[in-house]
Amino acid sequence: MSNFPFLSVLTVAPLVGALVVAFLPRHRPELAKQVAFVWSLLVLVLSVVMWVSFNAGGDRFQFRESYSWIPNWGVSFTFAADGIALVMLMLIAVLVPLVILASWHDAESSKRSVPVYFALLLVLECTMIGVFAAADVFLFYVFFEVMLVPMYFLIGSYGGHQRQYAAVKFFLYSLVGGLFMLAAVIGLWVVGGKTFDWQALSQVDISTGTERWLFLGFFLAFAIKAPFFPFHTWLPDAGGAAPAGAAALLVGVLDKVGTFGILRYCLPLFPEASKWFAPWALALGVIGIVYAALLAVGQNDLKRLVSYTSIAHFGFIGVGIFAFTTQAGTGAVLYMLNHGLATGLLFLVVGMLISRRGSALISDFGGAGKLVPVLAGVLFFAGLASLALPGTAPFISEFLVLIGTFTVNKPVAIIATLGIILAAAYVLWMVQRTTQGTLNPTLTEVDGMRRDLNLREKVVVAPLIALIVLLGFFPKPVTDVINPAVQATMDDIGRTDPAPSVGTVQEARR
């Protein structure tokens, strides 16, 4: 199967499915849901086959395909996946079917077209796969920008309170970042010999001043997309207004394009500039961890609270990337996966609570666990995973980031550790105020609050819980795929892990 065009088929398949779903009759919404779900399962099956076919000890980039697009500009449809991209592609393939199941009634409640809603989810899947699979800088930029369109309509047409404001703000922030990237992409094409091929550009020798400007153009776009402090303000609005399923994909996958872009483009293509900007990037990461955690503590809106927790988590990922050690880098990539699973679960469960109560305000809950004990238990588990409790997958990621950073930059690692304490505060406080304590009398008057998890919702949360626990105890299958790609990235920027001290070596020998 190594010669099978996995990446191009995976990119095109959701788009074909979206066209099929969009043209289904509006008066048959159940058919549209079923077709979208089955189509997403086909993508998942093909992704699993690709994962099995990937050789972790083989070439850095595998499943390479290239088809001419605009020869005069040196643009081609070139796809390739390393271990980092492969992990993100699997995350997309797992989350989308679960989001479709979780969003079964979201479009109906918005009084808009059900087929269009699920078609937009499949279009979004197409663009997400394309952006992680692209090995041509121009192709990556195209997917980076087009990805905004389906999410804009998901938020603006199917979202909640202030959805139009949130959708426009999301679009404008991302578009401005894209303009910085476009300028840098054109500059890279000029100095790179008029090619957009990633492998060719990685061999180009760029002057120091030019490299720094090009790095800055890419980094600003990725920092807005991630988002890093102080470019984060669009996320709480977008996450708070978006339907729960779309918010799970927004925070679980779309935002990872920013950190993925830094790893794939900023570090290998601009190694000297990456090292020059690293102290500033580490500072932004640390500030984001503490600042976003403090803001999360004061939130009364469940979805905005989860959005702020994600900003703090992205601070950890940024610290892991710019620590420039294989341990921290592996932790950062693993965090990208585990955060997608944990926060995706948290957003979906919060969405289930909100749909029952009819409100996202924490003050409208209180003691809900007495009415919906299973749902409350899943919320508690998702919260514990979000705060990186040992035994859950995010703990491994956070531990690797901190220990890898501590070996080269102790102050940054120590300050970042404060984020763990603050995470416990905002997660436990959220759980306490929503599901524990005295029962809010108004909840008994809401019919939805008497319905615990049904079979469909259990099917949604069960795989995510299983993956979070499995990767919390046995992350080796994933780290074996990630490690070679991270090591190659460290080689690109000429960084090696610090050698252990003499005392450490002697202690280890004892």
pLDDT per residue over 347-359, tens digit each? 999 999 998 888 8
Residues 6+ apart with CB under 8 A from 476: none
Q: Show the tokens assigned to 357.
A: 């109560």
* Entry pTM: 0.93
Residue 502 has pLDDT above 70, yes or no: no
Residue 282 has pLDDT above 50, yes or no: yes
pLDDT, position 41: 96
Residue 67 DSSP SS3: strand
**Residue-averaged pLDDT of the chain:** 90
Poorest-confidence range of 1-5, 156-160, 234-238? 1-5
CA count, 13 A, side-chain hemisphere, 442: 9
Largest CA distance in the chain: 73
Cα–Cα distance measured from residue 297 to residue 291, given in angstroms and rounded to the nearest whole number = 10
Backbone angles phi, psi at 209, to 5 degrees: -65, -45
pLDDT, position 1: 53
Q: Where do runs of H (alpha helix) occur along 70-204?
A: 83-102, 106-109, 114-133, 137-146, 148-158, 163-191, 198-201
- Give the CA angle between residues 277, 190, 60 to the nearest 5°: 65
Mean pLDDT (whole number) for 494-501: 68
pLDDT digits (tens, 9 = 90+) for 228-278: 988 888 889 998 899 989 999 999 899 899 999 999 999 999 999 999 999
Cα–Cα distance measured from residue 153 to residue 446, given in angstroms and rounded to the nearest whole number = 30
Poorest-confidence range of 5-9, 178-182, 240-244, 444-448? 444-448
* Position 506 confidence tier, pLDDT thresholds 50, 70, 90: very low
| Burial annotation 246-257 (CB, 10 A radius, 16+ → b, else e) | bbbbbbbbbbbb
Residue 509's alpha-carbon distances to 69, 327, 403, in angstroms, are 58, 21, 20
Poorest-confidence range of 101-115, 255-269, 421-435? 101-115
Q: Show the tokens assigned to 86.
A: 């492969």
CA-closest candidate to residue 125, choices 255, 261, 13: 13
Cα–Cα distance measured from residue 152 to residue 166, given in angstroms and rounded to the nearest whole number = 9
Mean pLDDT (whole number) for 47-70: 92
CB count within 10 Å of CB 105 equals: 13
Terminus-to-terminus CA distance in the chain, angstroms?
Answer: 48
pLDDT, position 107: 77
pLDDT, position 420: 86
In the structure, how many helices (H) and strands (E) does the chain have? 23, 2
